[in-house]
Structures are given as C-alpha cells and as structure tokens.
Structure 1
Amino acid sequence: MNKMNLNTLDLNLLKVFVAVWDLRSISAAGDRLGLTQPAISHALKRLREHFSDPLFLRVGHRMQPTDMAQRLYEPLNRALKIIAETVLNSEEFDPATSDRSFTIAMSDISEFYCLPKLLVYLQHNAPSIRIKSVQLDAQSAATSLRTGQIDLVLGYMPHLAEPDFISKFVLEDWFICLIASSHLFKSAELTQNDFSNLTFVEVATHATGYRMVDTYLTQQEVRRDVALRLEHYINVPQVIQNSQYAAIFPNSASQKVNANGDFRLLSIPFAIPRIDVKIHIHATFKQDSGIRWMQDAVVASHRIE
C-alpha cells in the first residue's frame, strides 16, 4: 500500500469505492453519487494508486473486486456508516419547517392508494417536505436501502426483516377478483370452477404480493385463461371496466376504484393468505430522526379516515 498521507485521501473516494462494490458498475456508481463516468474512473485511479492494487477488474460487463478490495470493503463501509451516524445524530429534524426530500420506493398501486393519504398528512404536518416516489424493485430494495439510494420502502416485503431492517405495519391487504358491474357473471359468489372459467388480465409485475398469489395458484394447479398482459397494474381497472375480463387485484385499491359502483369485488375461492403492507427502513439509518419521522408519518397517514 502506498504510504501517502491519509490527509490526502479524500473521503469521497471511499464513497466511490463502496458504490462500485455495491453496484459492480462504474456508470451505475456515477448515477448513485451524481458523478460522471470519467469522474468515477479518475477516483478509482486515485484509489488504485493509494492502495497499490487494481481493486476492481472488468469481467464482462461487471467490475469484480480483487482480494485487496474484499479485505477493504467491510472496514471502509463500517467507517462510512459511523461517520454518517455521527452527522445524523448531530442534526435535529423539525417536520414543521424542514424542506428535506425523501425517496420512497413503492409500486404503482401504492402510489395510487397510499401516496395520496401520505400527502394529505404532510400538508397538515410537514408542508415543505418533498417526496420522490420511485418504482419498487423487490430484488434491489435491500441494497438500495442499505446504501441510502432510497430512504424507505413501502409494500409487502417479507424478506426485509430484522435485524438489518426496521419495519412498521401500515395495513393488512388481500386480493380479490375484480370484474365490471356489467360482466356476464351475475352470481354473488365465485366457485373454483367459476374462477377457472373467467378470462383474466395478467400484469407483468414483480410486486411480491401479486407474485405470492400467482405462485399459490400455480402450485394449486388452478387453471387461468389469460387473454391480455399489461405492463402496469394501475391500468387494470380501466381495461376491466370496458370488457368481460377479470383481474386479481388488491382489495384496498379495489375499494377506491369502485367508488362509483362500476365494478364487482368477488372473493377468490381459494385459501390465499392475506398480506401485511409495511414501511421499511434500514437499521443503518435508525438514528436519522427525519427518516424515522417519515416512517411514522406513513403509518399515521393510514390511521386517519
């Protein structure tokens, strides 16, 4: 290792190291840190000179860490967390005056059902706070929370568990069969045979709640005739309203779209578990009074009628 004075080792270089480690990509690290790709490459060059090691080698489209990088990651990442916690502990958060921006990952259904409730709550309690909603990606949510790329995750995410994550209950939800009020099926209840005879709209979503239902029905060998596949869940009601299709849809959002009685909400005739929708933060940021307040605000916004 180069005997360079530690005073010349910029703290931002360590952030670059951790970002490249997490994402295995120079361009993605730049996106996270708000830096250009040449800036990230220059920072890596300085790090390599300091540690006298390549640190990361390009293998295909990914940056793979060297043995030296693997030894450095844990202590450097821990040091950055200690610094971040120290700074956060020294800051006071006043929701009434703060203009802080929070990034919350959620599905399009949560944007439709949960976000309006939160915004009403914030208008009364934290009028200057800003919210950035980003698409919830179940596979990357844990890493994005840990690295601070997002502040909170709202949804059914059973893999975000203690001790690494702090989760608070927001609402219990379940899935129903949504059809138009004009649908030819007129019975009050669906039998299993009725369900299999319906024609469904499928959604290309990675939402964990929907995937749980889909997996359950597949394992039970329940036949479903799928005539249409959509990219976004929130477009389902409009399609259903003007067709003879059916859809598996969250009860919470169904109650909202059915305000004018345009739909029928039928129980799915299978023992599908209900889901707990929670608001999650990473334990690394448990001392961040702003993030903790926002987590409580999401919960509180769903307790107001």
Structure 2
Amino acid sequence: MSKTNLYNLDLNLLLVLDAIHGERSLTRAGEKLHLTQSAISHALARLRTHFDDRLFIREGNRMEPTPLCSALHESIDPALKQIVSSIEDRGKFDPGKSTRCFRLGISDYLCTLLLPQILSQVEAEAPGVSIHIAQPTYEQRTPMMQEGKLDIFLGTKRNYSPFIKGEYLFSDREICVVRNDHPQVGKAVREDELASLNFLAFSLSETGQGFLEEYLYRKGLGHRIKLTVQQEVTIPHLVSKSNLVGTMAERLALHFSEFLPIRTAPLPLEDTSFDICQHWHSRSETDAANNWIRGVISKAASSLL
C-alpha cells in the first residue's frame, strides 16, 4: 500500500475491520455496526483490494486475521477507541453516563495494593466505565503512551520523555523477604552475609537491572542471583518454600506476610525508599476524562499516605 492510496481509503472501512477482528464473524460484525451482512462483505472486499491481502481467512465458523490484519489492528485499535471516546465525550466527561474504557499500565504490585480502591471508586462514580490493565516494562511505557495504547501508567520516577507528565502518589521502600525459619538470615541482612546467600531478584526492565541486581553487581556478587522474575507477587510464594532471599516493596511484603510464612529483613543500605507516581502524556493534560481518572487514582492512593 502506498501513501497515495491512503487518501483513497474510506476510514469507515477501518470500523468494519475492527468489528470483524473483534467478533470473528461477518454476521456479528454487521449486528454490531447495524449493517447487513452483504454490506459487511462488500466492505471487506474493498479492504482486501486496498491492502492487497485477504485480511481474514475463514476457519470453520470463525474469521481469523492474517498476520497483516493483526498488525494493522494493533495500530488502529487504540486510535479508533480514542476517536470514539472523544466524539462521545464531546470535550466533556460525565462519569455517570460514560462507557469509556481506560487503559492503565499497572504492575502486579500496584494491582494488589491500589487497584481495589480504584475499582471501588469507579464502580461508585462511573458504573459504565471499564478498565483495561497492562503491565509494560520500563522500556515499553513511553512508546505505549505516545502511541495511545495507555492513558495512564503508574510506577517509579524515571527519565521518561519530556512529554510524559507525572504526579506523586505515595512512597515505599525495598526490603528483603525470607521464609520464617530461614537458616541464615536474622532480623536484618548483614553485608558480610551477602556472599553466602542466594537471591531472588525482581526487574521490570528488558535490558537493565533491577534494584537488587544493581546492588549485588556493584559488589561483584551478581552470581548470587539465582532467579529473576517480572512478577513481584510471586516472590513471597517462592521464598516461602526455599532458602532464596528476595527483595520487594515493603508494603507488598507486609501484605503477604499476613497469610504466608514469611518475614521481612532490612537490607544493609541506609535508604532504599522510592516514590510511586502516575504518569500521562502532555496531550491529555486538559482532557476531561483523563483528568477524572487521575483524580480517582490520586484519591485511591491517598489511603497509602
């Protein structure tokens, strides 16, 4: 497809592609768009001609997307959702009437700690609103925000794009967690013990190192890390059944210590604190809907201050 051909594309056809992709059926896609199956078939034929690809292949009773179709849909889906939401809101936002879907980037740590309070407020103020949760890595956050795949992401302060705005929510600190009857670790992890312990590290980075990894590698003890995970909530379960020493957010560790045989132990560092913020793209700075969900998140986080 050339750039010239793009101007010949009826953008309403993208709604048809989106509906077929979601429903996997021409009939159901027609029902969703209030179009006849004949009209849907005609639109699909135009799409196939324009993109020079079958786009959907019938497999039994389902219309399965081709690789090109899946790639197209991944790009146009967030854009279509944003356009539809903007048209429905018309520059305003009424949470009580909205059916908008907010896309939030939240780690499993914050899903455990903060999401229940967020959902409670959304249910009370905006019963028609839905939330889609993703857990992007550090490297994915800015691109997903720029591409409209996220409305908000929550996490620590980092050197994100200058177009990414942020607001402080609450603080926490990194702490070690071990099983209650760990044979080596006492009330705190001592620096002279590090070389004899096996560690479980947590990192949301694709290429960089997490907190524990950086700390141990600086001391030449990176080889003592025996397992690295991207799911922080798995750490309490893993250490409770092994001699591994994990590090995680203290608030989350204390939460799990209420029903798992684990305990916390400070690291041999003076300051392991970090701040959690919510982030949004500058283009959404004055968007009424984005402002509303940010307010919901701020209010939910206030219980952790």
Please classify the TM superposition score into its range, dividing by the shorter chain length.
0.5 to 0.7
| Map of 1:217 onto structure 2 | 216
Whether the 8 Å CA contact 1:138–1:208 is kept in 2: the answer is no
Secondary structure in 2 matching 1:179: strand
Q: Structure 1 pair 40/157, CA: closer, same or farther in 2 (3 Å)? A: farther
| Map of 1:148 onto structure 2 | 148
Q: Structure 1 pair 271/217, CA: closer, same or farther in 2 (3 Å)? A: farther
Q: Structure 1 pair 175/204, CA: closer, same or farther in 2 (3 Å)? A: closer
1:272-291 aligned at under 5 Å gives the runs 273-291=272-290
Whether the 8 Å CA contact 1:160–1:280 is kept in 2: the answer is no
| Map of 1:179 onto structure 2 | 178
| Map of 2:246 onto structure 1 | 247
Q: Distance in 2 between matches of 1:184 and 1:152?
A: 43
Secondary structure in 2 matching 1:174: strand
Q: Distance in 1 between matches of 2:273 and 2:257?
A: 21
- Which segment drifts farther, 230-239 or 96-105? 230-239
How many matched pairs?
A: 255
| Superposed displacement of residue 188, structure 1 | 2.1
Normalised by the size of structure 1, how large is the TM-score? Answer: 0.67
4+ residue runs over 4 A deviation: 1-4, 8-13, 34-45, 83-89, 207-210
Whether the 8 Å CA contact 1:213–1:272 is kept in 2: the answer is no
Q: Distance in 1 between matches of 2:46 and 2:217?
A: 48
Whether the 8 Å CA contact 1:85–1:288 is kept in 2: the answer is no
Q: Distance in 2 between matches of 1:198 and 1:128?
A: 50
Q: Structure 2 unaligned runs (5+)? A: 25-43, 53-70, 72-79
Q: Distance in 1 between matches of 2:137 and 2:246?
A: 22
Q: Structure 1 unaligned runs (5+)? A: 16-29, 46-61, 63-79
Whether the 8 Å CA contact 1:109–1:233 is kept in 2: the answer is yes
Deviations 1:125-164 (A, max 9, x none): 33332111112122222121122112111112512354x1
- What amino acid maps onto 1:263 in structure 2? I
| Map of 2:269 onto structure 1 | 270
| Superposed displacement of residue 38, structure 1 | 9.8
Q: Structure 1 pair 39/105, CA: closer, same or farther in 2 (3 Å)? A: farther
Q: Distance in 1 between matches of 2:4 and 2:206?
A: 50
Q: Structure 1 pair 274/293, CA: closer, same or farther in 2 (3 Å)? A: same
* RMSD across aligned positions (CA): 4.1
| Superposed displacement of residue 263, structure 1 | 1.9
Deviations 1:77-102 (A, max 9, x none): xxx9xx99985883321223322111
Q: Structure 1 pair 224/173, CA: closer, same or farther in 2 (3 Å)? A: farther
Normalised by the size of structure 2, how large is the TM-score? Answer: 0.67
| Map of 1:232 onto structure 2 | 231
Q: Distance in 1 between matches of 2:223 and 2:50?
A: 53
Q: Distance in 1 between matches of 2:302 and 2:234?
A: 27
| Superposed displacement of residue 41, structure 1 | 7.8
| Map of 2:188 onto structure 1 | 189
1:43-54 aligned at under 5 Å gives the runs none
1:1-305 aligned at under 5 Å gives the runs 10=10, 90-162=90-162, 164-185=163-184, 187-203=186-202, 205-206=204-205, 211-222=210-221, 225-230=224-229, 232-260=231-259, 262-271=261-270, 273-304=272-303
- The sequence identity of aligned pairs, in percent, is 19
